[in-house]
Amino acid sequence: MKQLAPYSMGIGDRFGQQGTAQLEAFRLLAEHEGVTVVPVWNKSNREHTLIGTKPQDVRDEADAAVREAAWKAPYFVDADHITLKNVDPFIEASDFFTLDVADYIGETLGESEIYAFIGRHETLVGTHAIEGLEEPLTLTRHHLAECLRSTLFAVRQAGRLYRHIAEIKGADNFVTEISMDEAELPQTPEMLFVILAAVAAEGIPAQTIAPKFSGRFNKGVDYVGDPQEFAAEFDANVCVVREAARRFGLPASLKLSVHSGSDKFSLYPAIAESLARHRAGVHIKTAGTTWLEELTGLAKSGGEGLAIAKEIYRLALPRFDELCAPYAAVIDVQRSRLPRLDEVEGWNAGRFAATLKHAPADTQFNSDFRQFMHVSFKIAAELGPRYLDALRACQPVVAKHVTENLYVRHLQPIFGALRPS
């Protein structure tokens, strides 16, 4: 089994042009803070379909960036949010698989299956002292059955998917993540404990698990909810994951994963504090933040770059419903709060960039505009060579924005103080 280091970050690159700029952020962190975070290039089947790329394109980009930077630490290519229906094209090029079973949460097995599992795992019933938690976890037989009714079917689907990949690729050749973050309701620490017991029973050597936390993790903007509530959940889950790995025989490298983790600036101090306190690892998954920095860099470049950025908005606005629908669960965009097209057409480079850039203290920043542009990458894909040519022409400015965004606003706040002892 390939092993994932304690600190890792998923990075998305919609158009495959920013791998070197992204990796530079990780190099700077290692050089200046002495902390190595493993980069994991991730791209979902949905993104490949909308843009017209293939999983091998991500592998080629990652390998090229690593060669150019002479990066010596590990790196991975993630088949992001895959299912049995779409995994096969990813198997050759990927060595990290995010098994997405959120759609199965709530689907249940028969009562005989539920109680057969309980019969095989009677030790789950009772009180469980967890190092780091003030109060023990208590699972009655009734509570355990309730947890299993909503999660056991999903875990078994993850098992089917894992075994399918392992049979083709070989079990030693990839990292496994289980994703439940897009479920309707958050999972409690007790539920996470039960889920991990079921994961172990399925024989899945999961190294990261992405539960659903309270609040909203909208794309490209800060957390919507109570940061203190998140901090308590995250801290408790860190403790549960560590105990579950020890008790159920899961990999010692098992750690939490936070999906849609980019731009959640209000949460990073709590994450960093919890990691330091428990000497734990984490996987933070980002994706669209780099695409938004591409747009910012294009706009800041002026000329054709700014013209392309405005054109994407102009073409996207009439297709508002089409572009927003696939991301409805992870964006909060009101069309009435978007700037008028004639207004945007009159913006200079600085105004466009300031409206898009995630700087909540800036009165020009528009969260709805940023989220809408986040889901409008399909328009850029339809522009084809024009968009890619503009990117290449503006690459020095674009690359600077991409690197600074990842290094200063993401890697440093989470991992910068976690120097090896």
420 occurs within a structural domain: no
* 93 shares its domain with 189: yes
Q: How many domains are contained in the chain?
A: 2
Residues 76 and 158 occupy one common structural domain: yes
195 plus 73 within the same structural domain: yes
**pTM recorded for the entire structure:** 0.96
Inside any domain, residue 1: no
The answer to whether residues 316 and 241 belong to one domain is: no
If asked whether residues 214 and 344 sit together in one domain, one would say no
pLDDT by residue for the chain (421 residues), tens digit each? 899 999 999 999 999 999 999 999 999 999 999 999 999 999 999 999 999 999 999 999 999 999 999 999 999 999 999 999 999 999 999 999 999 998 898 888 999 999 999 999 999 999 999 999 999 999 999 999 999 999 999 999 999 999 999 999 999 999 999 999 878 889 999 999 999 999 999 999 999 999 999 999 999 999 999 999 999 999 999 999 999 999 999 999 999 999 999 999 999 999 999 999 999 999 999 988 999 999 999 999 999 999 999 999 999 999 999 999 999 989 999 999 999 999 999 999 999 999 999 999 999 999 999 999 999 999 999 999 999 999 999 999 999 999 999 999 999 999 998 876 5
State how far the Cα of 45 lies from the Cα of 195, in Å rounded to an integer. 25
Domain region containing 146:
7-288+405-415
- 252 sits in which H/E element: none
Residues 91 and 238 in one domain: yes
My answer on whether 232 and 376 are in the same domain is no
238-256 in b/e form (b: 16+ CB < 10 A) is bbbbbbbbebbebbebbbb
- Looking at the structure, tell me whether residues 324 and 202 fall in a common domain: no
Looking from the CA of 367 toward its CB, the CA atoms found within 13 Å total: 13
- How many C-beta neighbours within 10 Å does residue 118 have? 16
Indicate the angle between helix axes 367-374 and 288-301, nearest 10 degrees.
110
218 and 322 co-located in one domain: no
Kindly state whether residues 282 and 299 are assigned to the same domain: no
In a domain, 193, yes or no: yes
Q: Which residues, other chains included, contact 65 with Cβ-Cβ below 8 Å and sequence gap of 6+?
A: 19, 20, 22, 23, 71
CATH number, position 72? 3.20.20.70
Q: Is residue 2 part of a domain?
A: no
Q: 357 and 275: one domain?
A: no
421 in any annotated domain:
no
Whether 162 and 75 share a structural domain: yes
